[in-house]
């Protein structure tokens, strides 16, 4: 089985988890880079707003084609109980190329009732 680990990380936590997975699986990884500035208090506020409104963003060009992998593990920080906008963008733009998917997330609290079901719904074809 050939996996690809794809993650977005604003402050490095999800990146640490993603890199640990890559070490474990000895596989390729794709770090999503957002063209929108998300640092500082304003970046924090905008990120929360973007997530709550299901907004998409513009990502830097990707390195890997997810169609070439058996499973794509998608990792995101939780923003307002939802996936981050960069991850929403990646899934929206690439879901037709996914074979199988897995999800992981990091968060500050311990409530994310809807996150994985939202990601699953977004991945699923209409
Ligand atoms: C805009 C924003 C909204 C957040 N909302 C939540 C939330 O609803 N629940 C939660 O547990 N953590 C929330 N967090 C905390 C992040 O999910 C947590 O710090 C995460 O590990 C950050 O990952 P990163 O370092 O990879 O960006 C939020 C963080 C940001 C920036």
Residue 111: predicted pLDDT: 78
Q: What is the distance in angstroms between the CA of the first residue and the CA of the last residue of the chain?
A: 27
Length of the chain: 126
Cα(81)–Cα(77) distance, integer angstroms? 9
Residue 125: predicted pLDDT: 67
Domains of the chain in sequence order: 3-123 (3.40.50.360)
Q: Are residues 104 and 24 in contact, defined by beta-carbon separation less than 8 angstroms?
A: no
Q: Are residues 115 and 82 in contact, defined by beta-carbon separation less than 8 angstroms?
A: yes
CB distance 10 to ligand 1 below 6 Å:
yes
Q: What is the mean pLDDT of residues 59-86?
A: 98
CB distance 117 to ligand 1 below 6 Å:
no
User: Distance, CA 81 to ligand 1 centroid (Å)?
Assistant: 8
Q: Are residues 31 and 60 in contact, defined by beta-carbon separation less than 8 angstroms?
A: no
CB distance 54 to ligand 1 below 6 Å:
no
Identify the residue with better confidence: 112 or 71. 71
**Alpha helix segments (H runs only) across 66-114:** 85-94
- Global pTM exceeds 0.95: yes
Q: Which residues have C-beta within 8 Å of that of residue 74, sequence separation ≥ 6? A: 6, 7, 87, 90, 91, 101, 102, 103, 104, 119
DSSP 62: P
Cα(61)–Cα(103) distance, integer angstroms? 22
> Is pLDDT at 32 greater than 90 in this prediction?
yes
Residue located nearest, by CA, to atom 20 of ligand 1: 107
Q: What is the pLDDT of residues 40-51, one digit of tens each?
A: 999 999 999 999
Residue 64, phi then psi, degrees to nearest 5: -110, 145
């Amino acid at each position: 089985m050939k996996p690809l680990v794809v993650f977005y990380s604003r402050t490095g936590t999800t990146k640490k988890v993603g890199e640990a997975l890559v070490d474990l699986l000895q596989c390729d990884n794709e770090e999503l880079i957002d063209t929108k500035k998300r640092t500082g208090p304003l970046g924090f506020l905008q990120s929360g707003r973007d997530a709550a409104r299901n907004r998409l963003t513009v990502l830097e060009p990707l390195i890997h084609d997810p169609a070439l992998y058996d499973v794509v593990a998608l990792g995101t920080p939780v923003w307002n109980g939802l996936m981050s906008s960069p991850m929403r963008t990646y899934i929206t733009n690439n879901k037709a190329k996914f074979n199988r998917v897995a999800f992981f997330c990091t968060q500050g609290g311990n409530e994310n009732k809807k996150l994985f079901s939202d990601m699953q719904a977004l991945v699923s074809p209409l």
